[in-house]
Amino acid sequence: MVIGISGDSVESHVKFADKHHLPFTLLSDEDGELRKEWGVSKSLGLLPGRVTYVIDPQGVVRKRFSSQLRAKQHHHEALTTIRAGA
């Protein structure tokens, strides 16, 4: 299951998902609570961090990849971890 989470509004997520025909759920974290709970800090103190987690069916985090500048690398890191049997 893939879930995308950002601080954007629900309305923004709906438009983005429709525009890009996303096959997964987007959740809004406008107040930043999820970001705080998961320890996702701001990049350069300004931008919300960009972090990808691979979590196994038992709820164990198998991979954490954090990079604001290498956004395209996130899916590669996740798929590599999943294919390795995480």
- 71 CB-near residues (< 8 Å, 6+ apart): 50
Q: Is the pTM of this model over 0.85?
A: no
**pLDDT for 28-77, tens place per residue?**
999 989 988 988 887 777 777 888 899 999 999 999 888 877 878 888 88
**Quick one: pLDDT at residue 71?**
79
Q: Is 47 helix (H, G, I), strand (E, B) or coil?
A: strand
Q: How confident is the model at residue 10 (pLDDT cuts 50, 70, 90)?
A: very high
